[in-house]
Amino acid sequence: MRVLGIETSCDETGIAIYDDLSGLLSHQLYSQIKLHADYGGVVPELASRDHIRKVIPLIEQALKDADSTKDDIDAIAYTAGPGLVGALLVGATTARALAMAWDKPAVGVHHMEGHLLAPMLEVPAPEFPFLALLVSGGHTLIVRVDAIGQYQIMGESIDDAAGEAFDKTAKLMGLDYPGGPRLSKLAEAGSAGRFQFPRPMTDRPGLDMSFSGLKTFAANTIAANGNDEQTRCDIALAFEQAVVDTLIIKCRRALDETGFKRLVIAGGVSANKRLRTELGDMMQKRGGEVFYPRTEFCTDNGAMIAYAGMQRFKAGQTQSLAISAKPRWPLDQLAPL
């Protein structure tokens, strides 16, 4: 069976075709970074308009790359939420229109379930059960995963997501959008120990997190120490270390609580080199394993939606052709397979 996946939740248009026997056959990705750079962040209306322009040409190219036609497609999966409602509706209306025209079933996919399952596209893939750390621009979640659809949110950020904190702090430092990766690059030239940032909510029990205060701490540090190049590098390093340490402390507690030996990290921030390295070191010391998707599948993409859609489709979970999008949609409300 083959599933066409459509991802349009924010500022990337992702299209992919996944075959349950052959794996990923093709994937196309168009990023709107240049479009939004002048505004310092995503402009929802512009994002929606750009998805409209790109989605059909990318579908045509994905079919061509997979040497497939509409007759080879068994179902159409699309991101139904969470995300920007206008952007979501572009993908939803495209998927529902194609489903009706091609006489195929449609499958609405939860965006964060797509990220959570993205490491399944790799070899080796993690086996259930495992602990998942989902870190992106919009979400930071620690999730117990017993099977597809069987999710327990153990901890989450009570304010800014980790990726959001990266981007906001980068903006304070005068870095262009998207600031998170640029801040991490700046941190590579930083001197450790010059600045010491707090590790929020690690001095109390529990798995919830908070990152908004780190942005304020960075603003105060910049104001007190100036903004020359080396100072910016040192602040970037101190900030990154604080975020990574916080995530590691919380993951360690969750692993102790569950007893799991497998940890999955996914979402845009999972591409961060320091986070990957230090989580890998932690899991090695614990006699466990860490899994993550390749860099191109850390950010939003159609491959993860096609894969997640395939699992839902094979379990018989499809939707009517009524067009709907869920800008807010808790992960633990999903139906199990």
- 9 annotated among ligand-binding-site residues: no
- 138 annotated among ligand-binding-site residues: yes
Q: Report how far residue 269's alpha carbon sits from residue 3's, in angstroms, rounded to the nearest whole number.
A: 27
- 279 annotated among ligand-binding-site residues: no
- Edge-to-edge strand list for the sheet holding 12-19: 23-31, 12-19, 2-7, 75-81, 106-110
- 51 annotated among ligand-binding-site residues: no
- 135 annotated among ligand-binding-site residues: yes
Beta bridge partners of 143: 132, 153
Using alpha carbons, select from 117, 121, 95, 93 the residue that is nearest to residue 106: 95
Give how far the C-alpha of residue 90 lies from the chain's centroid of Cα atoms, to the nearest Å: 19
Q: Burial letters for 180-196: b for 16+ Cβ neighbours within 10 Å, e otherwise?
A: bbbbbebbeebeeeebe
Please check whether residue 126 is in contact with residue 259, taking contact to mean a CB–CB distance below 8 angstroms: no
Other C-beta atoms closer than 10 Å to the C-beta of 256 total 10
- 180 annotated among ligand-binding-site residues: yes
Rounded to 5 degrees, φ, ψ at 147 are: -170, 175
- 5 annotated among ligand-binding-site residues: no
Using alpha carbons, select from 308, 320, 317 the residue that is nearest to residue 335: 317
Please check whether residue 274 is in contact with residue 241, taking contact to mean a CB–CB distance below 8 angstroms: yes
- 167 annotated among ligand-binding-site residues: yes
Tokens (6 digits) for 131: 């602990």
Q: Report how far residue 126's alpha carbon sits from residue 137's, in angstroms, rounded to the nearest whole number.
A: 24
- 50 annotated among ligand-binding-site residues: no
Using alpha carbons, select from 293, 309, 256 the residue that is nearest to residue 91: 309
Residue ranges of the annotated binding site for substrate are: 134-138, 167, 180, 272
Residue ranges of the annotated binding site for Fe cation are: 111, 115, 300
Residue ranges of the annotated binding site are: 111, 115, 134-138, 167, 180, 272, 300
